[in-house]
Structure 1
Amino acid sequence: MLENPVLADLATDLPQAVRLQRLAAHLRARFRCGAVALLQLEADHLRPVAVDGLVPEALGRRFAVSQHPRLAAILARGEVTCFHHDSQLPDPYDGLLDTLVGEPLPVHDCMGTRLEVDGKPWGVLTLDALQTGTFGEDARAALAGYRVLAEAAVRISRLEREVQALRTTPPLRAGDDERGAVGGDADQEIVGQSAPLLRLLHELDVVAASDLPVLLLGETGVGKELFARRLHRQSPRRSKPLVHVNCAALPESLAESELFGHVRGAFSGAVTDRPGRFEAADGGTLFLDEVGELPLPVQAKLLRTLQNGEIQRLGADRPRRVHVRVIAATNRNLREQVTAGAFRADLYHRLSVYPVPIPPLRERGNDVLLIAGRFLELNRARLGLRSLRLSSAAQEALRRYAWPGNIRELEHVISRAALKALSRSGVNRADIVTLEPALLDLESNTAVPPAAAGATPARPPAPPPPAGETGTAPGPLRDVVDACQRAHISAALGRCQGNWAQAARMLEVDASNLHKLARRLGLK
């Protein structure tokens, strides 16, 4: 029987991703079409969970239902829905089918059906073809039968996932949302399927159940805040606040008040009592981002709080009890800061009870394409484009690049390339817009990676020589200036062992302006 491969998989113990991927591959072969996708409904968008026949970065895209009328129509109907070649509704997969010719071909035929689990919409199953007339009456009738099997596969996978979650994470408290206190929005999603990332997520899910302090270690731009949010979301504290403190942005004179609060009259301008971030996070989690930037006097007070669970507002006579889990993050080598006297050894040991290194993007293989897909879809929607895609050469360029600024730099690269592509003459928003390597501009973005903590170059590199002295034509002036600024900032950070405040003084710029400039250049 035709259904045997699918039925066999339903009776087999398979990982969810494998079961759904095999289903997509079988349906593509059965209907002899160009691509099949299973997309799960999450809030207001559809997330691909299995695709066959689409380019690799398609798995990283998130399709807002309101922006894709074909997907919205499929989701709204309880029967098989077809769109033929003359449909005026744009297809979400235009240019995304993985064809041998490598050209951005439009989809000609499309059909899909809504999938339901326990009487509620779960998502959609879509089939697309480059050949007109692929989906006739027989194909529609056959897909209606396969819908039952697809829903069964989804249901079995969900049950297996729930059983596994009950074994490894604490149960939800009454009133908790199953996505956690920080919500399930796609902007907070960690995208990727690489082995290093999956190992990290498993480790975080295990340690989340404890109250141990966690120290997230990683280069600038790896997404430490997202991993902190996941730790909180998977913890027993998920229904309580997660409070984020950017330690690098705290003025030294106000850092103590921000963290621990103050009473009226504690200093000039303190006209009322004010609770600090620790009290705001009571019962929940406090995320200390860039913790290595905290001034030494504040480090001493933070240590006392971690030791005895008490805080004392600035100017107050009595301490207050707080019950807070602390997650800290840094892109600096705190061990070397301890040796240099810039960070307290006792606080370091308190914060690093469970250190978690986050792998840089260059070590995550094809995750770079999935994350690029996420940014491509965001920019497609933002710019009102019909389709925004990467050429094969551009995909390879993304894989080869070292990504000194990691995911934040990738976001800037895709956004800049999309704008460049749209600004070219003859390009309009109704086209399938393809990003080529030249638009990504990675050759002129060969920024020196942020120096590993402890690295001490002899001096900042000299600026590029004037045009004509090297025998090559200069690039655009802004690119040359940006490359020079990246190099100087990176070198200064290396000499200052990652201390942004010291680097700002060395470069003779305001610290807050340096942070803004570094973010624009993809260094933060």
Structure 2
Amino acid sequence: MTSFFVALGTLLNRMSDGHSISTQHGVWIQLLETLLARYPADACTLMIADRGSLRPIAALGLPDDVYGRHYRLSDHPRLAAIVDHPDVCRFDPDCALPDPFDGLLDDKLTEVHDCMGVALSDAGQLIGVLTLDALTPGQFDPIDKQELRAAAKMLAGALRLTQRLEQTGSASHDAFDKSQLSPTEVHWRSPAMRRLDEAVKLVAPTDMTVLLHGETGVGKERIVRRLHMLSAQRDHRLVRVNCAALPEHLIESELFGHRRGAFSGAIKDHRGYFAVADKSTLMLDEIGELPLSLQPKLLRVIQEGEIQPLGSERPQRVDVRIIAVTNRDLAAEVEAGRFREDLYHRLSAFPLQVPALRDRRDDILLLAGSFLEENRIRLKLSNLRLDPDAEAALQGWHWPGNVRELEHTLSRAALRALGETFTEDPVNPRPRRAVSITRLHLDLPETSANPLDDLLPSNEDELIPRAWVALREATDHFQRRYIYRALASHGDNWAATARALSTDNGNLHRLGKRLGLK
């Protein structure tokens, strides 16, 4: 076990330098590799406790989408049994409790036949779980439980120290309790989403108005929920209003309220969304659809912190944190005269851009894991996995519908895969315990290539893509691929790449950061 403790010492040293749990993936993997070098397991996971769920932070012998899955203890009795066990918990080969990793250890969907785990606790508080799984019964007979218990105790201490350092190092640690985080929080792999997450943590505890940009389907509402959960308003209900769905003649009343008799049909007083959101967060979705005639009134509310319901002679103070959301380029809308410039600047006190899924491919399998787990529960399966060809198809498609398209694609694929696995017994048809999704089930176009891929052709004369896209998108895509290739040919040396491209090193770094290459 010497190598295990050496790896653990490396981890502790890195944590003292301010590294977080999510950035320690390589070291956690090293710890598991040292365990598997000693213990004959086919799969191993290190999971962290997260409000009634367990979330893998390191795994061996399992597909990458496992990192996107949150294992609720209420849905996984074997994990719950490990958590409740005071010592190393080993299950009998004929244990009826389903294993959370049944069907994930190989492409034959083989069930786990030897399983053991140990809860990681610190001062009586659950920190996480260490699991070992094997396909062969009796494979764990030689394991020294006392030795495994000692290793687990060290792991629990390392996890706890990491959590404390994260809380201490957070700019907002005095403003919120991390136990309030959503159990469906995703720890992103892509640099673009990690930067966004850091910006969210920075602005959430403040009272600054946030303008959230992003294409349709990128997951903007998830970011709004996270902003709210990390804010001082988290104990109050997040209030959502879709500006595009409000009838134009009722928008003012819906937002600011009215008094009885203020207009024909106003038979009683009505509280508007701003009044409902007092002391809380108000999400103004599709803010770009707000009519020009109403924009000055919204601007006044933001500036003065007061609303005046229709038919009322007195203004009413409100304390509302505004998060405006749009899939439009509001700066372009201002230029076109469709959006007020002063309101735009008020709303964009802290702008955030949610990147398109095609620009953060490292997150595709994370998201897929989350959707697979949702469908597994919905379809009452022991497990739902992706074949390697399906993984490749997911990562090869350019996802014009973004995260929403990925979610719907996997839901349809899960149903198709399930339909092919029923037994032939017409009286009592039953699906197999685990189901595998193939490329055919996904039903993605065979020409997965993004039309933008043709913008960097092998034949320099062929500069016309198969399908036209926005000029900015095409330019960004071209620059991203061009710089990526130049970096690869210069050993990821940014200074050498800048010289090769005859550009300033600082400018190249800034461009690379904007394009998600850093």
How does the TM-score come out when normalised to structure 2?
A: 0.79
1:180-239 residue CA offsets vs partner (Å, 9 max, x unmatched)? 4xx6242xx345221111111112212224332211110111111111222233233334
Pairing partner for 1:286 from 282, 285, 302: 282
1:425-454 residue CA offsets vs partner (Å, 9 max, x unmatched)? 6454334211001101111898999xxxxx
Change (3 A) 1:260 1:445: farther
**2-structure distance, mates of 1:444, 1:420:** 18
**1-structure distance, mates of 2:447, 2:277:** 40
Residue segments in structure 1 that go unaligned for 5+ positions in a row: 450-486, 492-524
Q: 2:172 corresponds to which residue? A: 169
Q: Which amino acid aligns with 1:161?
A: E
Change (3 A) 1:214 1:109: same
1:338 aligns with 2:334: yes
Shift of 1:11: 4.1
1:122 aligns with 2:127: yes
Q: 1:505 corresponds to which residue? A: none
Shift of 1:245: 1.3
Q: Which amino acid aligns with 1:184?
A: S
**2-structure distance, mates of 1:302, 1:435:** 48
Alpha carbons 2:397, 2:450 under 8 Å: kept = no
Q: 1:452 corresponds to which residue? A: none
Pairing partner for 2:224 from 209, 225, 228: 228
**2-structure distance, mates of 1:33, 1:200:** 37
Alpha carbons 1:45, 1:62 under 8 Å: kept = yes
Q: Which one is further off, 63-72 or 213-222?
A: 63-72
Alpha carbons 1:6, 1:149 under 8 Å: kept = no
SS of residue in 2 equivalent to 1:36: strand
**1-structure distance, mates of 2:369, 2:5:** 34
Pairing partner for 2:146 from 113, 116, 141: 141
Alpha carbons 2:421, 2:432 under 8 Å: kept = no
Alpha carbons 2:421, 2:435 under 8 Å: kept = no
1:94-147 residue CA offsets vs partner (Å, 9 max, x unmatched)? 2223x5xx4433322111011112212223210112233221153433322212
**2-structure distance, mates of 1:391, 1:139:** 35
**1-structure distance, mates of 2:349, 2:288:** 16
Shift of 1:10: 5.4
Q: Which one is further off, 430-439 or 236-245?
A: 236-245
Pairing partner for 1:301 from 283, 286, 297: 297
**2-structure distance, mates of 1:282, 1:446:** 47
Alpha carbons 1:216, 1:327 under 8 Å: kept = yes
1:210 aligns with 2:206: yes
Shift of 1:59: 0.7
1:22 aligns with 2:58: no
**2-structure distance, mates of 1:441, 1:191:** 28
**1-structure distance, mates of 2:362, 2:61:** 17
**2-structure distance, mates of 1:433, 1:140:** 33
Q: Which amino acid aligns with 1:302?
A: L
SS of residue in 2 equivalent to 1:184: coil
**2-structure distance, mates of 1:35, 1:195:** 28
For residues 326-405 of structure 1, the aligned pairs below 5 Å read 326-405=322-401
SS of residue in 2 equivalent to 1:128: strand
**1-structure distance, mates of 2:96, 2:74:** 16
**2-structure distance, mates of 1:170, 1:75:** 28
**2-structure distance, mates of 1:393, 1:158:** 37
1:300-352 residue CA offsets vs partner (Å, 9 max, x unmatched)? 21011112222110111121122222111101122232233322222122212
Q: Which amino acid aligns with 2:403?
A: I
Shift of 1:270: 2.1
**1-structure distance, mates of 2:90, 2:165:** 32
Alpha carbons 1:232, 1:242 under 8 Å: kept = yes
1:58 aligns with 2:66: yes
Change (3 A) 1:446 1:51: closer
Q: Which amino acid aligns with 2:29?
A: Q
1:151-183 residue CA offsets vs partner (Å, 9 max, x unmatched)? 111121112112112xx11514xxx75444xx6
Q: 1:184 corresponds to which residue? A: 182
**1-structure distance, mates of 2:375, 2:254:** 36
Count of residues paired in the alignment: 440
Alpha carbons 1:386, 1:429 under 8 Å: kept = no
SS of residue in 2 equivalent to 1:12: helix
SS of residue in 2 equivalent to 1:304: helix
Q: Which amino acid aligns with 2:39?
A: F
Shift of 1:240: 4.1
SS of residue in 2 equivalent to 1:257: helix
Residue segments in structure 2 that go unaligned for 5+ positions in a row: 424-429, 452-466, 471-518
Q: 1:429 corresponds to which residue? A: 431
**2-structure distance, mates of 1:407, 1:59:** 17
Q: 1:9 corresponds to which residue? A: 10
SS of residue in 2 equivalent to 1:32: coil
1:442-470 residue CA offsets vs partner (Å, 9 max, x unmatched)? 11898999xxxxxxxxxxxxxxxxxxxxx
**2-structure distance, mates of 1:448, 1:9:** 42
Q: Which amino acid aligns with 1:75?
A: V
SS of residue in 1 equivalent to 2:47: strand
How does the TM-score come out when normalised to structure 1?
A: 0.78
Pairing partner for 1:252 from 237, 245, 248: 248
SS of residue in 1 equivalent to 2:140: coil
Alpha carbons 2:422, 2:431 under 8 Å: kept = no
Q: Percent of pairs identical after alignment?
A: 47
Q: 1:269 corresponds to which residue? A: 265
SS of residue in 2 equivalent to 1:297: coil
Q: Which amino acid aligns with 2:407?
A: E
1:410-436 residue CA offsets vs partner (Å, 9 max, x unmatched)? 111111111111112645433421100
**2-structure distance, mates of 1:71, 1:179:** 20
Alpha carbons 1:241, 1:280 under 8 Å: kept = no
**2-structure distance, mates of 1:448, 1:57:** 23
1:283-315 residue CA offsets vs partner (Å, 9 max, x unmatched)? 332211111111222222101111222211011
SS of residue in 1 equivalent to 2:79: helix
Shift of 1:241: 4.2
SS of residue in 2 equivalent to 1:366: helix
Q: Which amino acid aligns with 2:54?
A: L
